[in-house]
């Protein structure tokens, strides 16, 4: 699979990454075998970027059990800040972040993370600085190679402009394009690697059951403007093609609990991209016409 260097880091990441919320939150222990197949299928297919979080249920533990022995084959990113059952005490403190990182290392069965990201805290928490210092202390101690911020809107803008972070993970897709307007240019100018979450908009263009009502409303408004000449019939291809067409995007993370979906997504990225530039331009035009007040879904 094609890879990119993640911003100013030296991490090489596949253009398609694997988001691991679903296997941690939805694949219960009796289906652990399926989760293990998802992880190994992804690595076998050339996906080299795995993205999880301390609060994604059993996700970190599943990664540790399934692919710790393949640690040198992938870039490992997790997030800290949302406490899970293993944490106690006040929210968004340096102590919680430090404790979360220690627990993540233990569950993931590794002695270091490639990337630890603050998990969608508000601008006020970022401005206080305690949680950022906790991340930087972990980096200094060799527990993580790089630090990032995962979030949207004003907090993402603050993170980009702060100069503290190596990467930004943020929402971007055909109905959620605010990052193109407000974030990408400044992030690239500062050398941040850009990781896109929700790149297929939860399949909203196909009115997927997992899509938020907000995304479905936006899809309806954009679709009412008529057919898009040259658009692929495969709606996942349309969504992935749109997201990965933006040069600022280093990797786009797609979650699944189905090994067959992993293979299908890799096939699309490897053999059916890019989609026509005219299709991308038309989707951007529709957003620009309709979406002046469409902020990122958080």
CA dist 277 → 30, 57, 230, 284, 286 (Å) = 45, 39, 10, 11, 14
CA distance 280 to 245: 7
pLDDT at 86: 57
Predicted structure pTM score:
0.95
Strand segments, DSSP code E, in 109-209 are 113-119, 144-150, 167-171, 193-197
Contact 259, 160 (CB under 8 A): no
Distance between CA atoms of 137 and 175, rounded to whole angstroms?
A: 37
Cα(129)–Cα(149) distance, integer angstroms: 13
Q: How many residues does the chain have?
A: 298
**Separation between Cα atoms, residue 166 and residue 116, nearest integer Å:** 10
pLDDT of amino acid 89: 61
pLDDT at position 208, please?
A: 53
Residue ranges, the chain, pLDDT below 50: none
pLDDT of residue 82: 75
Residue listed under structure tokens 């950022």: 132
CB atoms within 10 A of CB 73: 13
Q: What superfamily would CATH give domain 3-290? A: NADP-dependent oxidoreductase domain (3.20.20.100)
The verdict on whether 56 is a catalytic residue reads yes
């Amino acid at each position: 699979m094609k890879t990119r260097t993640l911003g100013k880091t030296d991490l090489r990441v596949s253009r398609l990454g694997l988001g691991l919320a679903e296997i941690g939150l939805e694949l219960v222990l009796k289906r652990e075998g399926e989760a293990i197949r998802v992880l190994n299928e992804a690595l076998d297919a050339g996906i080299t970027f795995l993205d999880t979080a301390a609060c994604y249920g059993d996700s970190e533990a599943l990664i540790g059990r399934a692919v710790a022995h393949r640690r040198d084959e992938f870039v490992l990113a997790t997030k800290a800040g949302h406490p899970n059952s293993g944490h106690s005490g006040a929210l968004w403190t340096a102590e919680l972040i430090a404790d979360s990182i220690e627990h993540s290392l233990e569950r993931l069965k590794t002695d270091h993370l490639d990337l630890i990201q603050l998990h969608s805290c508000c601008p006020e928490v970022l401005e206080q600085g305690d949680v950022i210092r906790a991340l930087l202390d972990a980096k200094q101690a060799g527990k993580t190679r790089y630090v990032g911020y995962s979030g949207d809107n004003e907090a993402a803008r603050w993170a980009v402009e702060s100069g503290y972070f190596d990467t930004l993970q943020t929402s971007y897709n055909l109905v959620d394009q605010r990052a193109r307007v407000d974030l990408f240019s400044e992030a690239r100018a500062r050398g941040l690697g850009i990781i896109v979450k929700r790149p297929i908009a939860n399949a909203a263009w196909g009115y997927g059951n997992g899509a938020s009502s907000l995304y479905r409303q936006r899809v309806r408004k954009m679709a009412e403007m008529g057919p898009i000449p040259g658009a692929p019939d495969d709606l996942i291809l349309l969504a992935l093609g749109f997201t990965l067409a933006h040069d600022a995007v280093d990797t786009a993370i797609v979650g699944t609990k189905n090994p067959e979906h992993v293979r299908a997504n890799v096939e699309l990225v490897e053999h059916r991209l890019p989609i026509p530039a005219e299709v991308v331009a038309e989707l951007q035009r529709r957003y620009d016409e309709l979406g002046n007040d469409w902020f990122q879904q958080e």
